[in-house]
Structure 1
Amino acid sequence: MVLTITDQAKLQIQEMMEQESEDVRLRFGVKGGGCSGLSYALGFDEATSNDDHLEVINEIPVSINKEDISIIEGTTIDFKQNMMGGGFTIDNPNAIVSCGCGSSFKAEEHEGTPENC
């Protein structure tokens, strides 16, 4: 398993998936940008390609670009609720530097393309 989706995150994702089409999958990966060079990409997608790793994680169908696996392997996606609302949190053991915003990071072998924040 490339990543872990907690039960709290699973419930939130399933609720969001109900608003999408029947064949939708969670797409998780990284893209260049952000203060530290890489940012997480989290969304829904119906399309898959030969470049995708397909897996069902905690009952959620997930698509991950195979190039991103080494950067995100071992990552946990969680959902935290507090008095100010709620949101997804991502704990990536491969991140060696993280931005204060929590959505940008740098991995040892993948620096990405940092932006000025």
Structure 2
Amino acid sequence: MISITSNAVAHLKSLIASKNAGAGTGLRLSVEKGGCAGMQYVMALGGSQEGDFTQAQDGVSLYVDKASVDYLRGCQIDYVDSLADSGFKLSNPNAARSCGCGTSFEPQSADI
């Protein structure tokens, strides 16, 4: 469903350890209306909630709320650390276009 690069896995493990987060803590990912392109990504550390799509990869967990699954199907999560920007970045095949900063997108279809 969603792939997570080795760089993103390493950073997520480090982030969870630095926050002394408990067992079951992973990356919660969702989509909500907003941002300059219409829909925006929301990411936070947290645990699974009822109805979530849950995915484990290389020792980290990813939790996606049910309403966001179709928007995120086939995405790749990477972690970028450069002079200009750092953070988790999504490559989303379901986006018709993305904003310049990469935090929001316009879905290819309004039917999603």
Q: TM-score, normalised by structure 1?
A: 0.83
Q: Which residue of 1 aligns with 2:22?
A: 22
Q: Conserved in 1, the CA contact under 8 Å of 2:47 and 2:63?
A: no
Unaligned 5+ segments in structure 2 are none
Measured in 1, the distance between the counterparts of 2:100 and 2:56 equals: 31
Alignment partner, residue 35 of structure 1: 36
Aligned-residue sequence identity (percent) comes to 27
3-state SS of paired residue (1:100): coil
RMSD (Å), alpha carbons: 1.7
For 2:46, give the aligned amino acid: D
**Could you tell me whether the CA contact under 8 Å between 1:37 and 1:104 is conserved in 2?**
yes
Count of residue pairs the alignment pairs up? 109
TM superposition shift of 1:85: 5.7
Which amino acid is the alignment partner of residue 12 of structure 1? H
Distance 1:15 1:32 in 2: 30
- Which structure would you say has the larger RCO, counting Cα contacts within 8 Å and 6 or more residues apart? 1
1:88 is displaced (CA, Å) by: 1.8
1:86 and 1:10 map into 2 onto residues whose CA distance is: 15
1:46 and 1:74 map into 2 onto residues whose CA distance is 22
Q: What is the rounded CA distance, in whole Å, between the counterparts of 1:16 and 1:98 in structure 2? A: 26
Moved more, 75-84 or 26-35: 75-84
1-structure distance, mates of 2:37, 2:85: 26
Change in Cα spacing, 1:85 to 1:41, as seen in structure 2 (3 Å) is closer
Return the letter of the residue paired with 1:35. Answer: C
State the distance in 1 between where 2:76 and 2:70 align.
Answer: 14
